[in-house]
Amino acid sequence: MRLILFVVALTLAALPARAFDTSATSAWVYDMTTHTVLMDKNGEVPLPPASMSKLMTINMLFEALKDGRVSMDTTFPVSSRATAMTAQGASTMYLQESDRPTVADLLHGMIVNSGGDACIVVAEGLAGSEEAFAAQMTERARALGLEHSVFKNSSGWPAPGHQMSLKDIALLSRRLIEEFPEYYPLFAETDYNYKDRAPANARNRNPLLDLGIGADGLKTGHTTEAGYGLAGSVKQGNRRIILVISGLASDRERAEEAEKITSWAFRQFTLKTVARAGTRLAEAEVFMGADDTVGLVPATDLQLLVPALMQDGVTADVVYTGPLTAPITRGAQVADLVIRIPDLPERRVPLLAEADVARGGFLTRLSAAAAHLKARYLDQAPAS
């Protein structure tokens, strides 16, 4: 078998997008619509995630809701360990030991108030202890492909070895958006004041929510070690981006940098539909088939994110191992379209067989076998 490469000339061109020199020490920006990484600055380096790791605690509670272990009306007890978070200066929803908050209360407390007390109540309610819950968080993170995440607690309170990469935070954010559409709107809520106890702490700290730019989540974070960070998501038109930044010097710098990155991500890149579903992009050779070739088509509309200013630069190769051997079933994935755009990661798009190709008759197979043997003989014959 041999590797066949076809170069497909797409009617696109691109000029590398103007690089964004962020002041964040780490950043990872991802376009969800096209699955394109737009920025990666130390994105896979494990770092103290501060309150952004609460997203994993929230994910664990979302999963418990989805599989029926709890409901929004389920109540949990409040331990002295939970209330101690307020005394230690952690973000809080001001729970007291006499409270019996519902799951709905706790979700609001974690998401809007960033309550460390709420996180401990959830951890103890689901796993019995925060230590057991942190171990479950780490195990679940591995199962979800979060390769650089280790949790020592449920809240992101500073602890040796408690870490996540910004890429992990972004992938977790994507999961919360895609897998839990019924609960994700909670991240866009701007105020929550449990039992009127926290008028000064009732406001969501996410600075993007008040800008009218389509932001609807997710979480801020801050510790002395980690600096100021943010996991945000913004939807404009047909596009949604996730941005995660860390290491900023102040909440003001965090807000300004997040807004700048959002503007850059939407203004410097354009979404293009370059091929419709079922459009033949190339042909693959077929061995022992009733037809000599089969068309190769994308399963869905092929959309690319390209720099807004365009010159030469985009290339696309169709790659498959072949010739393909008949029979071939219509819709089977038989090739990949490999797209390269300057300053963006390579993208691979599955290509499907456009039609069924039956095995050829006796004469077809005999002819194909003879051609194959001849080709092998010529390849092995000594040079004269």
Q: What is the pLDDT of residue 370?
A: 47
Residue 292, pLDDT score: 85
Q: Could you give all domains of the chain from N- to C-terminal order, each with its CATH number? A: 2-13+274-380 (2.60.410.10), 26-267 (3.40.710.10)
Give the pLDDT of residue 380.
55
User: Rounded distance, CA 75 to CA 267, Å?
Assistant: 46
pLDDT in tens, 25-46: 999 999 998 888 999 999 999 9
Q: So what's the pLDDT on residue 345?
A: 75
Q: Residue 100: its pLDDT value, please? A: 98
pLDDT at residue 66 in the model: 97
Q: What is the CA radius of gyration of the chain?
A: 26
Q: Which of 207, 355, 191 is nearest to 280 (CA)?
A: 355
Please list, in sequence order, all residues whose beta carbon lies within 8 angstroms of the beta carbon of residue 19, skipping any fewer than 6 positions away. 343
Per-residue pLDDT at 309: 66
Dist. CA 28–CA 30, nearest whole Å = 7
pLDDT for res 212: 94
Helices (H) and strands (E) in the chain, counts: 8, 14
Query: Which pLDDT score, from 0 to 100, does residue 381 have?
Result: 52
**Under-50 pLDDT residues of the chain:** 1-18, 311, 362-363, 365-366, 370, 374-375, 377-378, 384
With H, G, I as helix, E, B as strand and everything else as coil, classify residue 305. strand
